[in-house]
Chains A and B, each alone.
Chain A
Amino acid sequence: MKRREEQAMEILEAADQSLLEVIDHVLNKGVVVSGEAMLGVAGVDLVYLRLSALLCASDRVQARARKK
């Protein structure tokens, strides 16, 4: 079975802006009720870094599209 972080990365790479937003809220926010949350703390940091980069990337794409 793939590691959770790898699964998260695969989703992130394929996600559009609206899915990125959902992922950030659903995976990085919310109450943590068990030590067994899907991603360990290190995994969440990793996802967050990638997510920030991707949110930026699609924002730039949109900004370019608007300028045209």
Chain B
Amino acid sequence: MSPPLNVYALSDAPPPVEVRGAQGEAVRALPAGSLFALAGEVDQRPDLTADAVRAHDAAVRRLAVACPALLPVRFGSIAEEVDFSEREAELLEALELVRDREQMTLRVYGEPQPAERGSGTAYLESLRRSRSMPALDPLRAALAPLVRAERTEPHEGPLIASVYHLIDRGSAPEYLRALAGVALAVRVAPTGPWPAWSFAPELLR
């Protein structure tokens, strides 16, 4: 049996330099169709600890520096072999979307809007509005020159949504400056830049 592989990311090319994984192991680029799974051989599945989570994040960041097009893989993805044949087209499309880009994450805090009762149409409209977050339109206008793609994730409670923006690599300072200049009815807390965690194809549906 081959040793288990801890998969960190997918790319369309092997990293041009050697990159170390979460446990200090050399990351290998395993061809899978026209994709490469960037993975390290590990002795065992990593335990779910704060250190292990931080080490995975750090390994993905190192790989993102080395690879212009990179899709991070969720923590704890242990495989003995990798096969993406059924999802190759959508993964390649997502790699093109994130190429030379990185992610900013916004946590949006405000008063939760109660779901509207009544007709199905009204309900669907309220759902659509909660997903599109019209309260963020001034922010969208200010950031439009920098944002290449947006993903909005509504939540319950005072954390009303998370918004993920894909921006060109290196433009985070400009993004944060533009964000600071926007007046909004809700409060927005940014973090980043991150590798493009929230732009995996299964999260975009």
Q: How far is the CA of A63 from the CA of B188 in the complex (A)?
A: 12
A residues 9-68 in Cβ contact with B at 8 Å = 11, 14-15, 18-19, 21-34, 36-39, 52-53, 55-56, 59-60, 63
The residues of B that contact A30 with a CB separation of less than 8 Å are 71-75, 197, 200
Q: Are B200 and A29 in contact (CB under 8 A)?
A: yes
Instruction: Kindly identify which residue among A7, A19, A25, A55 contacts B198, using a CB–CB cutoff of 8 Å.
Output: A25
Do most interface residues of chain B lie in helix, strand or loop, or is the interface mixed? mixed
Q: Are A37 and B76 in contact (CB under 8 A)?
A: yes
CB distance from A55 to the nearest CB of B (A): 5
Interface footprint category on A: 20 to 34
Q: Are A15 and B197 in contact (CB under 8 A)?
A: no
A-B contact pairs, 11 of them (CB 8 A): A22-B53, A23-B53, A26-B72, A29-B72, A29-B200, A30-B71, A31-B202, A36-B76, A52-B155, A55-B107, A56-B159
Where the two chains meet, the residues of A that have a C-beta atom closer than 8 Å to any C-beta of B are 4, 7-8, 11, 14-15, 18-19, 21-34, 36-39, 52-53, 55-56, 59-60, 63
Where the two chains meet, the residues of B that have a C-beta atom closer than 8 Å to any C-beta of A are 7, 10, 37, 45, 47-50, 53-54, 56-57, 60, 71-79, 82, 84, 91, 105, 107, 109, 155-159, 162, 187, 189, 191, 194, 197-198, 200-203
